[in-house]
Amino acid sequence: MRRRSGDIDKANAAIRAARAGLAEAQRTLGAEKNTAIRAAEPKITAAQHAITTLTTARDKIPTELPANIINPGAKRALLRAHRRGLVMVLCLFAYNADTWLADHLNAYLQDNNEYRALTRSLMHQAGTITYAPQQITVTLDRHHQPRLNRALASLIDEFNHTPPRIPGDNRPITYQLFPGTADEQPRQGPASTRAQTSPAR
């Protein structure tokens, strides 16, 4: 394709040169003018015909080629639908869990503007998981905002009423916060079960 384009450029240059010669000839007087015109006209006609031929040949070359022609040794990627479907289901579960946790946290936090951002910040909260023969204890570090600690403590009390379990493991998962000041204790809900566990850090 580059070679064809180069030939077309050369033909265009020939036309420009012939027209320049024709313009020069038109400025010539008498018989010299007519002779130069007759000599330039065949060159222009031949150059125009060459441009038409080269353009037709260039247009037959495809601008895009199939991948197997560009790289005959390439292999086609296969879509693993079952893996993609599993990933989408897990993403949906994670989104639903995040929404449920944010809504329940806001029931105690009462902050409709920031409760989702605060829930996301709790996803990175440090803590300790203690595995015991009878139960699993998750001890979370306290947040730097006292109001969030109070809301989180109330939410933990709600969780501990019906402790979750890992599939295939009958041990209940109990949540608790590291002890803090008195003004950070939960304002509502039943008494926390934090004192029943002995967290290890």
pTM more than 0.85? no
* 76 found inside a domain: no
pLDDT of residue 13: 83
145 and 87 assigned to the same domain: yes
Question: Which pairing describes strands 173-177 and 136-140: parallel, antiparallel, or unpaired?
Answer: parallel
Query: Between the CA of residue 54 and those of 2, 12, 14, 147, what are the distances in Å?
Result: 12, 11, 14, 79
pLDDT of residue 26: 67
116 and 181 assigned to the same domain: yes
Contact 152, 143 (CB under 8 A): yes
88 and 63 assigned to the same domain: no
The three-point CA angle 31-27-20 to 5° equals 110
36 and 106 assigned to the same domain: no
Average pLDDT of adjacent 10-residue blocks, the chain of 201 residues: 67 81 67 73 86 87 78 74 87 92 91 89 89 92 90 91 89 87 48 38 36
- What span, in angstroms and rounded, lies between the C-alpha atoms of 163 and 159? 6
Last residue of a domain, one of 70, 97, 119: 70
